[in-house]
A and B are shown apart, each in its own frame.
Chain A
């Protein structure tokens, strides 16, 4: 197992390429020489249309897919050379929460704490801390099948944090949420940033994250077409959505 080098970025993607074999046998390039970084204490928004390669990129970072070329590193651990190091350092939240209806939040978190190899004492203190910090107390012992989408997504976030990872990737976490649930979740993400977590957040709901992310990376057909802070992308006037459309149309250079 390799030693993690000291790295300024919690998440570092370098020249990433991912090709799939299509159903007709042709080669489809989902990610095309994509590079990005996320530092500790930073939220980076990964923006792109459907099929732009956002989910594939996040899943390569999370060791769920292997890249065709390039590297993804989390806290210095390479996703291919040391996937276990990456998995210990990373939490993953997806649009589909995958929270079983029959389990309560407490049961689910306990189960995933054990799955992460925590001892019983570590599991109980960590679960109690998450329930308190993420404000799950009022429904922590209710089966998830009786909870709202927002509550289930908060449980999913707690599950991603159960092993105390310094980095998080979130794949459209607010997709199924109403305004209240979405704002509450994004407030929590900002709180995590303040505590030094590195967050890479993919979403289609640009207005929700426009003023919450430190930087944005806009991708189209697997390539980075624009990257920078809001003010760098948007300029003194305008909004992120207009900047997004300009970037996708080729108007802004990365």
Chain B
């Protein structure tokens, strides 16, 4: 039988922060768990529909009228790093807390040391991996149908845009997911519309903190369109080099995830929230 002194010894052994890397392992454990959850038939069917949507649109467009290369690239950009990635992340990132509350697993995760942070970062990783995989599959099919010149270069560029879009938007949707877990989907649609697609096109300081500005600017630079861009279109892109755009997205992601982790660590859910 454990006596009180033994208990105090045990307690002292439980002090101190987790060794470095343990929190990454914890986050990865959550990511693996979330990816397993995404491997259900309905979710896989959703992924298939998502991946087939851009090539279907491209096929229909080509059949209707011949597309020049630049127009096809703009269309792929609108369909995949913008529309498909945003939709995929709405499905995978928004329910990060709401799902756990509904399934009764929130308390079991939240009571672990670093459990809330691991839940957020693990779900973030799973959402990015799942959505990127769907988007890259859709991209490859679309490029195959579009039959554009230099397909490998285009594929590399779009994969980079997809990854940046996914990490940026997943971090963005993490905020409504932790602030308004039960209305995260609606709130995230609002955030996507207001922040990404309205503020992102305002030629003002506010668009500097949007992912859409960075992605557009990267597309313009990597396609070599900067010199040909009409003056009025210059307002909608940032003229700094690609490295700055990528660093801006990474900083934005780190800030958003830090804020989301801080909020989630402070959140209290009364027992009634789990019904």
B4 and A6 contacting across the interface, CB-CB below 8 Å: yes
Kindly list chain A residues whose C-beta atoms are within 8 Å of the C-beta of B40: 102
Tell me if A138 counts as interface (CB < 8 A to partner B).
Answer: no
B4 and A115 contacting across the interface, CB-CB below 8 Å: no
A114 and B28 contacting across the interface, CB-CB below 8 Å: yes
**Chain A contact patch, size range:** 35 or more
Tell me if A100 counts as interface (CB < 8 A to partner B).
Answer: yes
B104 and A98 contacting across the interface, CB-CB below 8 Å: yes
Tell me if A137 counts as interface (CB < 8 A to partner B).
Answer: no
Kindly list chain B residues whose C-beta atoms are within 8 Å of the C-beta of A208: none
Kindly list chain B residues whose C-beta atoms are within 8 Å of the C-beta of A114: 25-26, 28-29
Tell me if A216 counts as interface (CB < 8 A to partner B).
Answer: no
CA separation between A90 and B110, bound complex, in Å?
A: 12
A116 and B112 contacting across the interface, CB-CB below 8 Å: yes
Tell me if B233 counts as interface (CB < 8 A to partner A).
Answer: no
**A4-B11, A6-B4, A196-B6 as given contacts; A102 in contact with B269, CB under 8 Å:** no
B113 and A111 contacting across the interface, CB-CB below 8 Å: no
Nearest chain A CB to B32 CB, angstrom units: 7
B8 and A115 contacting across the interface, CB-CB below 8 Å: no
Interface locus among A54-62, A221-229, A240-248: A54-62
A85 and B11 contacting across the interface, CB-CB below 8 Å: yes
Tell me if B15 counts as interface (CB < 8 A to partner A).
Answer: yes
Hey, what's the 0/1 contact readout for B9-41 against A, CB within 8 Å counting as 1? 011101111110011011011101100110010
Kindly list chain B residues whose C-beta atoms are within 8 Å of the C-beta of A59: 107, 271
CA separation between A20 and B272, bound complex, in Å?
A: 12
Q: Return the chain A residue nearest B103 by Cβ.
A: A98
Query: Which residues of A92-110 are within 8 A (CB) of B?
Result: 92, 94, 96-98, 100, 102-103
Q: Which single member of B10, B12, B110, B111 contacts A3 (CB below 8 Å)?
A: B12
Tell me if A33 counts as interface (CB < 8 A to partner B).
Answer: no
CA separation between A64 and B101, bound complex, in Å?
A: 13
CA separation between A56 and B5, bound complex, in Å?
A: 29
Q: Return the chain B residue nearest A41 by Cβ.
A: B1
Nearest chain B CB to A172 CB, angstrom units: 11
Kindly list chain B residues whose C-beta atoms are within 8 Å of the C-beta of A195: 1-2
Nearest chain A CB to B37 CB, angstrom units: 7
**A55-B271, A75-B8 as given contacts; A197 in contact with B2, CB under 8 Å:** yes
7 contacts across the A-B interface (CB closer than 8 A): A6-B4, A75-B7, A75-B14, A98-B107, A115-B109, A117-B19, A197-B2
Top 4 A-B pairs, shortest CB-CB distance: A196-B2, A96-B104, A114-B29, A75-B11
